[in-house]
Amino acid sequence: MKVDLIVPNSLKEITLKQYQKFIKIQKENDDPYFLQCKMIEIFCNLDSNAVRNLKLSDADKIVNVLNLMFEEKPKLINTFKLGKIEYGFIPKLEDISLGEYVDLDTYMGDWDNMHIAMNVLYRPITEKIKDKYLIEDYNTESKDKLDEIPLDVVLGSVFFLYNLGMELSTVMLNYLEEEEVNNLMQQQTFQKNGDGTKVSLDSLKEILQDLKISLN
């Protein structure tokens, strides 16, 4: 039986919705052959019968291509188009609102709701002059429309925030070492801030560990 399929070779060819579907299945199953079938089915848009009819050698080649693709370390993508709408990464992350921070902190470590975190980070561009742009105000009701976002955009933002957190943590530690904290109150303040940073970093580390699909 001849099967026509397109194997994605770039993360931009996979949507967040597809990845969320696979991650959910992967968490509930540990059979490597079953996961291989689901990997091809989801990312290559084939039905289960078509996948089962593939030659074993062809299936292995497809899985290898997909695994290599997931080893990419995408960079932050500031703008992208979804349909006719151009989206932009939040221009001034330091000016994030309390509501934006709460939703980002709540959903960034949850793949089932990662599209909500993306709604915080990326919104339709309202004005643009060369590389400068403005985006729409955050709308808490728009929690589903970005599940079709390309996966390279998602992972690029995740890596960016992770690296940002690591840099912030390093700066904090260096500053505290130079100041030579001398009393218990300063130590308690440091520990409190340090724990808060660690929680965020641990959340991002869990995401990064989930990103690499292992079928071995």
Rounded CA-CA distance 132/130 in Å is 6
**% the chain with pLDDT above 70:** 73
Cα R_g (the chain), whole angstroms: 20
- Answer whether residue 122 shows pLDDT above 90: yes
Cα–Cα distance, 195 to 87 (Å, whole number): 33
- Burial class from Cβ neighbours inside 10 Å (0-12, 13-18, 19+) for residue 27 reads exposed
In this predicted structure, the answer to whether residue 151 has a pLDDT above a threshold of 60 is: yes
Q: Is 48 helix (H, G, I), strand (E, B) or coil?
A: helix
Per-residue confidence (pLDDT) for residue 102, from 0 to 100: 86
pLDDT confidence of 166, banded at 50, 70, 90?
A: low
pLDDT surpassing 60 at residue 105: yes
Q: Once rounded to an integer, what is the mean pLDDT over residues 10-20?
A: 94
Cα-flanking dihedrals φ and ψ of residue 206, to 5°?
Answer: -60, -40
pLDDT band at 149 (very low <50, low <70, confident <90, very high): very high
> H or E segment at 106?
helix 98-107
* DSSP state letter for 15: B
For 167, the enclosing helix (H) or strand (E) is helix 151-179
- DSSP strand E in the chain: where? 79-82, 85-89, 122-129, 132-135
**Would you say 22 and 38 are in contact if contact means Cβ atoms under 8 Å apart?**
yes
Look up the pTM and report it.
Answer: 0.75
pLDDT greater at residue 114 or residue 189: 114
Q: In angstroms, rounded to a whole number, what is the distance separating the alpha carbons of residues 71 and 73?
A: 6
The whole-number average pLDDT for the span 180-189 is: 44
- Domain ranges in the chain are 11-69, 79-211
167 or 162: which leads in pLDDT:
162
Look at residue 178 in the predicted model and tell me its pLDDT: 53
- State the pLDDT confidence band at 143, using cuts at 50, 70 and 90: low
- pLDDT-derived band of residue 187, with 50, 70 and 90 as boundaries? very low
pLDDT of residue 189: 46
Residue 198 has pLDDT above 70, yes or no: no
Read off the pLDDT of each residue in 198-208 and give the average, rounded to a whole number. Answer: 48
Q: How far is CA 163 from the centre of its chain?
A: 13
Confidence of residue 126 (pLDDT cuts 50, 70, 90): very high
| pLDDT computed for residue 124 by the predictor | 94
> Helices 151-179 and 184-211 meet at what angle, rounded to 10?
160
What residues form DSSP beta bridges with 125?
135
Computed over every residue of the chain, the mean pLDDT equals: 79
**Which pLDDT value is given to residue 1?**
56
